Protein backbone atom coordinates (compact mmCIF):
# COMPACT_ATOMS: atom_id res chain seq x y z
CA UNK A 1 0.00 0.00 0.00
CA UNK A 2 1.06 3.59 -0.54
CA UNK A 3 0.04 6.72 1.38
CA UNK A 4 0.50 10.16 -0.26
CA UNK A 5 2.63 11.26 2.67
CA UNK A 6 5.25 13.98 3.15
CA UNK A 7 7.94 14.44 2.03
CA UNK A 8 7.11 11.66 -0.48
CA UNK A 9 4.79 8.62 -0.60
CA UNK A 10 5.10 6.05 2.20
CA UNK A 11 4.87 2.40 1.22
CA UNK A 12 3.90 -0.30 3.70
CA UNK A 13 2.38 -3.75 4.08
CA UNK A 14 -0.14 -4.22 6.88
CA UNK A 15 1.30 -7.65 7.69
CA UNK A 16 4.67 -6.07 8.50
CA UNK A 17 3.43 -2.82 10.05
CA UNK A 18 2.36 -1.95 13.59
CA UNK A 19 0.27 0.95 14.84
CA UNK A 20 2.04 2.38 17.90
CA UNK A 21 -0.16 4.51 20.18
CA UNK A 22 1.98 6.53 22.55
CA UNK A 23 0.83 7.31 26.10
CA UNK A 24 -2.85 8.11 25.60
CA UNK A 25 -3.27 7.92 29.37
CA UNK A 26 -5.71 9.52 31.77
CA UNK A 27 -2.86 11.34 33.54
CA UNK A 28 -2.07 13.23 30.33
CA UNK A 29 -5.48 13.54 28.66
CA UNK A 30 -8.02 14.04 31.46
CA UNK A 31 -8.55 16.97 33.86
CA UNK A 32 -6.94 16.37 37.25
CA UNK A 33 -4.09 14.30 35.88
CA UNK A 34 -0.36 14.90 35.79
CA UNK A 35 -0.52 17.03 32.67
CA UNK A 36 -2.92 19.50 34.27
CA UNK A 37 -0.89 19.68 37.48
CA UNK A 38 1.98 20.96 35.33
CA UNK A 39 -0.25 23.86 34.31
CA UNK A 40 -1.19 22.53 30.90
CA UNK A 41 -4.49 22.70 29.01
CA UNK A 42 -5.37 19.03 28.57
CA UNK A 43 -8.21 19.91 26.19
CA UNK A 44 -5.58 20.33 23.48
CA UNK A 45 -4.64 16.66 23.79
CA UNK A 46 -8.20 15.43 24.22
CA UNK A 47 -9.10 17.01 20.87
CA UNK A 48 -7.22 14.31 18.91
CA UNK A 49 -9.14 11.40 20.47
CA UNK A 50 -11.82 11.11 17.72
CA UNK A 51 -9.19 10.92 14.96
CA UNK A 52 -7.22 8.37 16.98
CA UNK A 53 -10.38 6.30 17.47
CA UNK A 54 -11.07 6.30 13.73
CA UNK A 55 -7.53 5.14 12.93
CA UNK A 56 -7.58 2.46 15.61
CA UNK A 57 -10.90 1.09 14.34
CA UNK A 58 -9.67 1.03 10.74
CA UNK A 59 -6.37 -0.60 11.68
CA UNK A 60 -8.12 -3.28 13.75
CA UNK A 61 -10.44 -3.98 10.84
CA UNK A 62 -7.41 -4.34 8.55
CA UNK A 63 -5.96 -6.91 10.95
CA UNK A 64 -2.84 -4.92 11.79
CA UNK A 65 -0.74 -5.26 14.93
CA UNK A 66 -1.52 -2.67 17.62
CA UNK A 67 0.91 -1.52 20.32
CA UNK A 68 -0.13 0.73 23.21
CA UNK A 69 2.45 2.37 25.47
CA UNK A 70 2.08 3.81 28.94
CA UNK A 71 4.63 5.93 30.77
CA UNK A 72 4.65 3.97 34.00
CA UNK A 73 6.98 3.55 36.95
CA UNK A 74 7.38 0.90 39.62
CA UNK A 75 5.63 1.66 42.90
CA UNK A 76 8.97 2.15 44.66
CA UNK A 77 10.12 4.53 41.87
CA UNK A 78 13.32 2.51 41.47
CA UNK A 79 13.11 3.12 37.71
CA UNK A 80 12.52 6.87 38.02
CA UNK A 81 15.82 8.74 38.44
CA UNK A 82 15.93 12.02 40.38
CA UNK A 83 16.84 13.80 37.15
CA UNK A 84 13.33 12.97 35.95
CA UNK A 85 11.28 13.15 39.14
CA UNK A 86 12.72 16.40 40.50
CA UNK A 87 12.66 18.41 37.27
CA UNK A 88 10.73 21.68 37.31
CA UNK A 89 8.40 22.93 40.02
CA UNK A 90 5.09 21.06 39.61
CA UNK A 91 2.40 20.93 42.29
CA UNK A 92 2.62 17.12 42.13
CA UNK A 93 5.57 14.95 41.18
CA UNK A 94 5.82 11.42 39.82
CA UNK A 95 4.83 9.06 42.61
CA UNK A 96 2.81 11.64 44.55
CA UNK A 97 -0.84 11.01 45.32
CA UNK A 98 -3.08 12.81 42.83
CA UNK A 99 -6.80 12.88 42.03
CA UNK A 100 -6.43 9.62 40.08
CA UNK A 101 -3.97 7.82 42.33
CA UNK A 102 -0.20 8.05 42.39
CA UNK A 103 1.14 10.00 39.44
CA UNK A 104 2.57 7.82 36.62
CA UNK A 105 2.77 4.71 38.78
CA UNK A 106 1.89 1.41 37.13
CA UNK A 107 -1.55 0.10 38.06
CA UNK A 108 -2.93 3.43 39.30
CA UNK A 109 -6.19 4.72 37.76
CA UNK A 110 -4.55 7.75 36.16
CA UNK A 111 -1.89 5.58 34.56
CA UNK A 112 -4.43 3.69 32.49
CA UNK A 113 -5.13 4.32 28.81
CA UNK A 114 -8.29 6.38 28.30
CA UNK A 115 -11.43 4.24 27.76
CA UNK A 116 -11.94 5.53 24.21
CA UNK A 117 -8.66 3.91 23.13
CA UNK A 118 -8.48 1.03 25.59
CA UNK A 119 -6.56 -2.06 24.42
CA UNK A 120 -8.48 -5.19 23.50
CA UNK A 121 -7.41 -8.79 23.90
CA UNK A 122 -4.37 -9.64 21.82
CA UNK A 123 -2.99 -6.11 21.57
CA UNK A 124 0.45 -5.35 22.99
CA UNK A 125 0.75 -3.01 25.99
CA UNK A 126 4.21 -1.68 26.86
CA UNK A 127 4.91 0.03 30.19
CA UNK A 128 7.91 2.29 29.66
CA UNK A 129 9.92 4.07 32.37
CA UNK A 130 11.35 6.62 29.94
CA UNK A 131 10.15 8.90 27.20
CA UNK A 132 11.03 6.49 24.40
CA UNK A 133 9.06 3.31 23.78
CA UNK A 134 12.23 1.25 23.28
CA UNK A 135 14.24 2.24 26.35
CA UNK A 136 14.20 -0.51 29.01
CA UNK A 137 11.27 -2.32 27.32
CA UNK A 138 10.91 -5.52 25.27
CA UNK A 139 9.29 -3.68 22.35
CA UNK A 140 12.06 -4.14 19.77
CA UNK A 141 12.32 -7.86 20.41
CA UNK A 142 8.54 -8.29 20.20
CA UNK A 143 8.34 -6.38 16.92
CA UNK A 144 11.18 -8.41 15.46
CA UNK A 145 9.47 -11.65 16.42
CA UNK A 146 6.31 -10.44 14.67
CA UNK A 147 8.20 -9.55 11.49
CA UNK A 148 7.47 -5.84 11.80
CA UNK A 149 9.50 -3.44 9.65
CA UNK A 150 7.22 -0.37 9.51
CA UNK A 151 5.59 1.65 12.30
CA UNK A 152 2.68 4.10 12.28
CA UNK A 153 2.75 6.48 15.23
CA UNK A 154 0.09 8.48 17.04
CA UNK A 155 -0.24 9.75 20.61
CA UNK A 156 1.20 12.35 22.96
CA UNK A 157 3.09 14.47 23.31
CA UNK A 158 4.51 15.10 19.86
CA UNK A 159 7.82 16.65 20.84
CA UNK A 160 8.53 14.44 23.84
CA UNK A 161 7.47 10.78 23.94
CA UNK A 162 6.30 10.52 20.32
CA UNK A 163 9.37 12.11 18.78
CA UNK A 164 11.71 10.21 21.11
CA UNK A 165 10.06 6.90 20.20
CA UNK A 166 10.22 7.64 16.47
CA UNK A 167 13.90 8.51 16.68
CA UNK A 168 14.57 5.32 18.64
CA UNK A 169 12.66 3.34 16.02
CA UNK A 170 14.55 5.00 13.17
CA UNK A 171 17.86 4.05 14.79
CA UNK A 172 16.64 0.44 14.94
CA UNK A 173 15.82 0.33 11.24
CA UNK A 174 12.04 0.85 11.18
CA UNK A 175 10.37 2.99 8.51
CA UNK A 176 8.11 5.31 10.51
CA UNK A 177 5.11 7.46 9.71
CA UNK A 178 3.49 9.98 12.06
CA UNK A 179 -0.23 10.71 11.76
CA UNK A 180 -0.26 14.47 12.14
CA UNK A 181 -3.84 14.93 13.35
CA UNK A 182 -3.47 12.02 15.80
CA UNK A 183 -0.71 13.63 17.83
CA UNK A 184 -0.60 16.81 19.88
CA UNK A 185 1.38 18.89 22.34
CA UNK A 186 0.42 21.16 25.20
CA UNK A 187 2.35 23.73 23.13
CA UNK A 188 1.09 23.74 19.52
CA UNK A 189 4.21 25.42 18.18
CA UNK A 190 6.29 22.58 19.67
CA UNK A 191 4.19 20.09 17.69
CA UNK A 192 4.65 22.07 14.49
CA UNK A 193 8.41 22.21 14.97
CA UNK A 194 8.65 18.50 15.83
CA UNK A 195 6.66 17.46 12.76
CA UNK A 196 8.90 19.58 10.53
CA UNK A 197 12.04 18.12 12.09
CA UNK A 198 10.93 14.53 11.70
CA UNK A 199 10.14 14.72 7.98
CA UNK A 200 12.94 17.13 7.04
CA UNK A 201 15.87 16.21 4.81
CA UNK A 202 14.03 13.47 2.95
CA UNK A 203 12.24 11.89 5.94
CA UNK A 204 15.35 11.84 8.12
CA UNK A 205 13.30 10.41 11.00
CA UNK A 206 10.09 9.49 9.19
CA UNK A 207 7.11 10.46 7.08
CA UNK A 208 3.94 12.33 8.04
CA UNK A 209 0.37 11.99 6.78
CA UNK A 210 -3.19 12.53 7.98
CA UNK A 211 -5.52 9.99 9.53
CA UNK A 212 -7.86 10.26 6.54
CA UNK A 213 -5.06 9.52 4.11
CA UNK A 214 -4.30 6.31 6.00
CA UNK A 215 -7.95 5.30 6.33
CA UNK A 216 -8.62 5.96 2.65
CA UNK A 217 -5.58 3.86 1.70
CA UNK A 218 -6.77 0.98 3.85
CA UNK A 219 -10.29 1.14 2.39
CA UNK A 220 -9.19 1.26 -1.24
CA UNK A 221 -6.39 -1.31 -1.07
| DSSP of the chain | -EE--BSS-EE--GGGEEEEEE--BHHHHSTTSHHHHTT--THHHHTTHHHHHHHHHHHHHHT-EEEEEEE-B-TT-TTS-HHHHTSS--SS-TTSEEBTEETTBTTSGGGSBPGGG---TT-EEEEESSSSSSTTSSHHHHHHHTT--EEEEEEE-IIIIIHHHHHHHHHTT-EEEEEEEEEE-SSHHHHHHHHHHHHHHHHSS-EEE-HHHHHHHHHH-
pLDDT in tens, 73-116: 999 999 999 999 998 888 889 999 988 999 999 999 999 999 99
Mean pLDDT of the chain: 97
Mean pLDDT in residue range 200-220 = 98
Which residues are annotated as catalytic? 23, 128, 161
**pLDDT for the residue 195:** 98
Assign 121 a pLDDT band (cuts: 50, 70, 90).
very high
**The predicted structure's pLDDT at residue 115:** 98
State what percent of residues in the chain have pLDDT above 90.
93
Say what the pLDDT of residue 34 is. 87
Is 221's pLDDT higher than 90? no
The pLDDT of residue 120 is 98
Q: Cα 85 from chain centroid?
A: 21
- pLDDT > 90? residue 38: no
pLDDT on residue 91: 83
Amino acid sequence: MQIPALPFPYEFDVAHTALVIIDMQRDFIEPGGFGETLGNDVALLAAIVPACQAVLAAWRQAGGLVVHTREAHASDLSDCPPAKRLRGNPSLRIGDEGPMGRILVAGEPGNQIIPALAPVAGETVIDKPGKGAFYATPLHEQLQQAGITHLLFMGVTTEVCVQTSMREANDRGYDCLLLEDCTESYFPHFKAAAVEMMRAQGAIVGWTATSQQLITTLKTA
